[in-house]
Amino acid sequence: MLTQIDKARSLAERFGGWRDGEFCPAGMHISRIAEKCGTPFYLYHGGMIVDRVRRVRDALGVEVSYSVKANPNLAVCQLIARERQAGAEVASSGELVVARTAGFTPEDIVFAGPGKTDDELGRAVQEGIFAVNVESLNEIDRLASIAKRKDRRTGVGLRINPAAQLMGSQMRMGGTVGQFGIDQSDLADAVRRTLSYPQLVLRGIHVYTATQVFEVEPLLEHCRNILEIGLEAADEAGQPLQMIDFGGGFGVPYFEKMAEFNLERFGEGFQRLLESYRSDPHLDDCRFLFELGRYLMADAGIYVTRVVEVKQMRGKTFVVTDGGMNHHLTATGNMGQVFRKSYPLLNLSSALREPEESVAVAGPCCTPLDMFGTNISLSEPKVGDLLGVFYSGAYGYSASNLGFLSHPTPAEALLWQDEVHLLRPLGKPEDVLEGQDALLL
């Protein structure tokens, strides 16, 4: 099993490797990229994103729907939208705007989320997306009345919370009691209710129950269960299904002692499973899709932050950087972990210096929670060095509380066809006032 340093080095190689002892993605020294972007910044690798989408699609043999929440950057979405059999899964009307602007066609967009407002449902209906994945019986009624008001028909996927749990995952949103989806015991009701409205077109079912799934066999069993639920829905409807959305949640090995999700093994098993159901006439024209965020994006992003302070405290070295939990909440433990685990990190300014004794790497925010790790082996960090936090392409920018402590927001840049494109400039301190009205005193 790879160590954290091995993982980081292997990802660094995929970005383009090292020159003169310095990280050099796409032939450009990281110090020069930092001059161009300012720090901190996210650096995405377009080629890796596209390769991953193709690899997943080929391994599974079905459509891949990109979960925009993982990284809603417009250029990132554009790269995915150009791919064959790639759609988008959105969770808000903001993500819908990004998806449409990036070039995803409405027929390739699904919309899930437990708290969709009338305005959001209205926008989904207006755009004519393939399926609004409804999460309650009440949402079916609301969607129908909005569609009626707009005099438009709209596709519906029933997001089902299955009775069976998906084992071997780290965060569950189904198979347990929660706010997500329609309870499996209400499936027949949901089907009948959808069909009772002439404005609604029953597309099929959607099941997403977990993220960070690594174990292949339980996931295959979960997919079999989803197919069975789909057939039950088709039976109840007395018509074939147009969509089975299997969710996804494939895992990324961020931490020590985690190995890669075995995509090829899962893909072989999944294709065999699907083949065994293909002869069912209920599935004749059915679209099958997986919606994935983390697995498509995580490897393809690095968060780059500059060392502003190195100090000793009672025998321990503390390295303090110019960005932390405010920009990359997930890498700093999502506001607290019982056992602090760190993402793979490297000193990008110095491949040549030997790995040091383990150091603590902290961000600039005034809380002990702002910590990338307390025992990170880092090649002798000096003030001014650039540190890279790997596996940062998913749930980095989008999952962080960027307003916390009012530091400027990080820049975003993309390596694409041997060039570095600045996608979003570094924020400015004055941005903190933007959109605020002062009191007239």
Q: Which residues of the shown chain bind ligand PLP in the complex (CB under 6 A)?
A: 67, 70, 89, 112, 208, 211, 247-249, 291-295
Q: Which conformational region is residue 418 in: left (phi greater than 0), alpha (psi within -120 to 50 degrees), or beta?
A: left
Least separation in angstroms between CB 182 and ligand PLP? 13
| Residue 263 structure tokens | 């995509």
Alpha-carbon torsion (44, 46, 48, 50), positive or negative: positive
Least separation in angstroms between CB 89 and ligand PLP? 5
Burial readout 386-409 (b: 16 or more C-beta within 10 A, e: otherwise)? bbbbbbbbbbbbbbbebebbebbb
Least separation in angstroms between CB 60 and ligand PLP? 13
The CB-nearest residue to ligand PLP is 293
Q: Are 94 and 72 in contact (CB under 8 A)?
A: yes
Least separation in angstroms between CB 309 and ligand PLP? 34
Give 275: exposed, middle or buried? Use CB within 10 Å, 0-12, 13-18, 19+: exposed
Q: Are 41 and 323 in contact (CB under 8 A)?
A: no
Angle at 64 between CA 63 and CA 67, to 5 degrees: 145
Q: Are 159 and 196 in contact (CB under 8 A)?
A: no
Q: Which is closer to ligand PLP, CB of 25 or CB of 393?
A: 393
Q: Which is closer to ligand PLP, CB of 18 or CB of 208?
A: 208
Least separation in angstroms between CB 113 and ligand PLP? 7
Q: Which is closer to ligand PLP, CB of 160 or CB of 233?
A: 160
Q: Which residue has the tokens 């005193």?
A: 441
Query: Helix (H, G, I), strand (E, B), or coil: what is residue 290?
Result: strand
Least separation in angstroms between CB 70 and ligand PLP? 5
Least separation in angstroms between CB 173 and ligand PLP? 6
Q: Which is closer to ligand PLP, CB of 39 or CB of 136?
A: 136
Q: Which is closer to ligand PLP, CB of 248 or CB of 410?
A: 248
CA distances from 418 to 26, 267, 271, 322 (A): 5, 31, 36, 27
Least separation in angstroms between CB 247 and ligand PLP? 6
H-helix or E-strand spanning residue 120? helix 118-127
Distance CA 347, CA 388 (A): 6
Q: Which is closer to ligand PLP, CB of 12 or CB of 207?
A: 207
CA nearest to 200, candidates 168, 237, 229: 237
Q: Which is closer to ligand PLP, CB of 18 or CB of 261?
A: 261
Query: Helix (H, G, I), strand (E, B), or coil: what is residue 427?
Result: coil
Least separation in angstroms between CB 288 and ligand PLP? 15
| Amino acid type, 15 | F
Q: Which is closer to ligand PLP, CB of 41 or CB of 250?
A: 250
Distance CA 109, CA 88 (A): 5
Query: Helix (H, G, I), strand (E, B), or coil: what is residue 406?
Result: helix
Q: Which is closer to ligand PLP, CB of 23 or CB of 66?
A: 66
Least separation in angstroms between CB 54 and ligand PLP? 17
Q: Which is closer to ligand PLP, CB of 23 or CB of 295?
A: 295
Distance CA 34, CA 186 (A): 54
